Structure 1
Amino acid sequence: MADILPTLLFAEHDDASLNPVTARALTAALALGAPVHVLVAGENAQAAAQAAARLDGVAEVLLADGPAFAHRLAEPVAALGVALAPAYGALIAPSTAVGKSVMPRIAALIDVMQVSDVIAVVAPDTFDRPIYAGNAIQRVRATDATRVLTIRTAAFAAAGEGNAAPLRTLDLAEPSAHSHFVGEDIAASARPELTAARIIVSGGRALGSAEKFHEIVEPLADALGAAVGASRAAVDAGYAPNDWQVGQTGKVVAPDLYVALGISGAIQHLAGMKDSKVIVAINKDEDAPIFQVADYGLVGDLFEIVPELKAEIAKAKA
């Protein structure tokens, strides 16, 4: 075990706290069988680094703190990853917007193959990943000396807490970059973040309009304390914003409960939510493909069923 190079996990965080996907990606990293170090790159990110040190199984936390990493742009974070790569047998990140931006760049710079969207670790060099919108699983063997992986975190349970891993601050020259942060416009919401939510209520094109989407989907989500999702058809029709989209070209989720309202169940959508623990579908078309993956299905008019369901939830809470 002494000659096995450790694994480096890139933490997903906002400087103040860790995104829950980091704990899920850690479970995948630990399955490689090597010690796991967590890299926290940010500005004033001490709090996130301390949170990473509490995760079970972490051997060490590396903190790269400086203005260059303030917004986790792909260029500086990738340059940092390349500098650290010789000391590690695997570089791993969650399949988030940041991970998908950084890891392919690292793989190209160190001239190795990347394995994307890993859903199972079969062996330290062998991984399963979905292809064809999740209709087939591809088993890939990575023969490079350094493995570069992105993890579909919905497929892994979150690691627990209670650890006290050592924290080491990196003293590295800040990398130069040709891109610079200009600004961001973040949508604020009191609801849970979609990829981290335990309950999700999603609406489809059958809702008919943005007004009906807000009138039907959002009150039920609020009653359940859930995040709000949408099918691609609903997003394309302008019923919901892009960041609510669940599916192959949206966000991949695996909540404890997924409620699909007026969603037919196209392959593209199923690829993003079929790993949910319990799926409830409400659709007037009894032949809708969504019922093939649903644990509970209600065939009927969602404009009647959903208000009744919300009323029953309110009664149960009273």
Structure 2
Amino acid sequence: MTTLLIAEHDNKTLSGETAKALTAAKSLGGDVHVLVAGEGASAVAQQAAKLDGVSKVLKAEGGSYAYHLAEPLAALVVQLAPAYVAIVGPATASIKNALPRAAALLDVMQVSDVSAVIAPDTFERPIYAGNAVERVRSTDKVKVLTIRTSAFAAAGEGASAAPVEETSGADDPAVSRFVSEEVAHSERPELSGAKIVVSGGRALGSKEKFDELMLPLADKLGAAVGASRAAVDAGYAPNDWQVGQTGKVVAPDLYVACGISGAIQHLAGMKDSKVIVAINKDADAPILQVADYALVGDVFTIVPELTSKL
């Protein structure tokens, strides 16, 4: 019984989401092999080999894997699938793009956003924006799973590194090609794995006010910056800062929500945070019902004062 875990990486560094998905993969029982598909990703393979519970790392090198296009990765997964009882990946944008394609080619269903492993064939996943939990039992010959990484602790390093083996790449379907990318670089922590997140909502009124209030607070706390969908739609913050059902799901040690009312869509992305602080002038805002600490007042007064006292 062996599981294949798809690594999330940027060809240089292994994402922390992979270590969390590894914890879920180990819950299935048996050995875990990690697939590192990329270009010039030897350092990533070595990082994966050091994780506790990894039996082997498979490294597939090639230009078609350099930019994590879905079709080449799906073809590679299908080629490797006969040797595995489960194929697992963190529920990140690139993995969620590739694994459903692989599942379709394998003629099996995918179980998405797994938040608990009950048995090797039985899983739990949130539905209805996290308001209910569905238990799913799969009878497919190979289980294809994406993992809600906020529900699992990251695996640490093992006593010794696992072996790294080269694997031949699959034929590139050549139905898509990489054109360009725009990558936002920041010294702040990455949103999905941050221990502290400060988020702003539409109540901030403009991008200028969002930056004026949220960024200094984040820098004082050493936090990542998030935003509600309404704030992103209004242009206050970039898409990759969106927290919620259609954005990123986070579960930091501390989540500070500023001017966010707490729509179901947003709560689905952050309600598993260990400590939630909400700042809102509306005492009846839904987010105050899930907050551990609530400050009822003007966000334009409270946030600068809070920042000045840190």
State the TM-score, normalized to the length of structure 1.
0.95
Indicate whether 1:195 and 2:192 are aligned.
yes
- Corresponding position of 2:8: 12
3-state DSSP of counterpart to 1:58: coil
Contact 1:74/1:101 (<8 A) preserved: yes
2:68 to 64, 68, 72: 72
Percent identity of the aligned residues?
A: 71
- The amino acid that maps onto 2:264 is I
- The amino acid that maps onto 2:33 is H
Provide the aligned length of Structure 1 versus Structure 2. Answer: 309
Indicate whether 1:153 and 2:153 are aligned.
no
Measured in 2, the distance between the counterparts of 1:103 and 1:205 equals 34
Measured in 2, the distance between the counterparts of 1:238 and 1:69 equals 32
3-state DSSP of counterpart to 1:303: helix
2:80 to 77, 84, 88: 84
State the TM-score, normalized to the length of structure 2.
0.98
Give the CA deviation at 1:173: 5.1
- Corresponding position of 1:268: 265
Give the CA deviation at 1:79: 0.5
2:18 to 5, 10, 22: 22
- The amino acid that maps onto 2:259 is G
What whole-Å deviation, never above 9, does each CA across 1:103-160 have from its counterpart, x for those lacking one? Answer: 1000000100100000000111000011111111110001001000000101100001
- Corresponding position of 2:131: 135
Measured in 1, the distance between the counterparts of 2:10 and 2:217 equals 29
Structure 1, unmatched stretches of 5+, are: 314-318
- Corresponding position of 1:316: none
What whole-Å deviation, never above 9, does each CA across 1:76-104 have from its counterpart, x for those lacking one? Answer: 11010000000000000111111111110
Measured in 2, the distance between the counterparts of 1:161 and 1:64 equals 22
3-state DSSP of counterpart to 1:286: coil
Give the CA deviation at 1:171: 2.9
Contact 2:121/2:139 (<8 A) preserved: yes
Structure 2, unmatched stretches of 5+, are: none
Indicate whether 1:232 and 2:221 are aligned.
no
Runs of 4+ residues over 4 Å off in structure 1: none
2:283 to 281, 286, 292: 286
CA-atom RMSD, angstroms? Answer: 1.0
Contact 1:154/1:253 (<8 A) preserved: yes
Measured in 2, the distance between the counterparts of 1:302 and 1:176 equals 51
Measured in 2, the distance between the counterparts of 1:307 and 1:154 equals 30
